[in-house]
């Protein structure tokens, strides 16, 4: 969803980026992280291959934020996510807030679950609350009322 926000911000009114892998280049440059080396087989190794680095640099969301009007964005993450560390969406949201053309009707929000993993909160009722929050954000942005 981060790439979508950069490539076609005018085509969407709102985006929910659930545990967004938006700092892929910086993450894949860190072989000490648990999932990085295994990803090199699919993505290539940007540490050793300048073409892979340039290609990734050309589309990764964090590196391609620009001064423009973005859709309203809700980035949701979890403190205990071992696949997409919470710092990725946090720094993405901070960079967006610094770069976005100001529009109070299109907020850029970060919601961090403090006791959850990559799949979000556990338990039927808690997951319903999480889904309701995300849908309420999107419905509010597109003007759906009760």
CA distances from 131 to 30, 109, 128 (A): 32, 16, 5
pLDDT tier at 66, thresholds 50, 70, 90: very high
pLDDT at position 31:
92
CATH class of this structure's domain 2-23+61-141: alpha beta
Q: Where are the domains of the chain?
A: 2-23+61-141
**Distance between CA atoms of residues 3 and 64, nearest Å:** 8
Tens of pLDDT, residue by residue over 15-65, are: 999 989 899 899 899 999 888 898 899 989 999 999 999 999 999 999 999
Q: Please, are residues 92 and 51 in contact by the beta-carbon 8 Å criterion?
A: no
| Range among 48-52, 104-108, 119-123, 129-133 with highest mean pLDDT value | 48-52
Among residues 74, 79, 75, the alpha carbon closest in space to that of 113 is found at: 79
Residue 49, classed as helix, strand or coil, is coil
């Amino acid at each position: 969803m981060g790439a979508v926000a950069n490539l076609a911000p005018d085509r969407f009114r709102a985006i929910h980026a659930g545990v967004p892998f938006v700092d892929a280049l910086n993450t894949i440059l860190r072989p000490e992280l648990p999932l990085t080396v295994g990803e090199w087989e699919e993505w290539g190794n940007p540490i050793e291959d300048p073409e892979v680095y340039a290609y990734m640099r050309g589309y990764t969301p964090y590196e391609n934020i620009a001064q423009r009007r973005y859709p309203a964005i809700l980035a949701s993450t979890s403190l205990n996510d071992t696949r997409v560390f919470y710092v990725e969406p946090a720094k993405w949201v901070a960079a967006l807030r610094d770069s976005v053309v100001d529009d109070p009707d299109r907020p850029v929000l970060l919601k961090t679950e403090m006791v959850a993993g990559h799949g979000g909160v556990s338990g039927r009722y808690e997951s319903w609350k999480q889904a309701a929050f995300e849908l309420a954000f999107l419905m509010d942005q597109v003007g759906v009322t009760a």
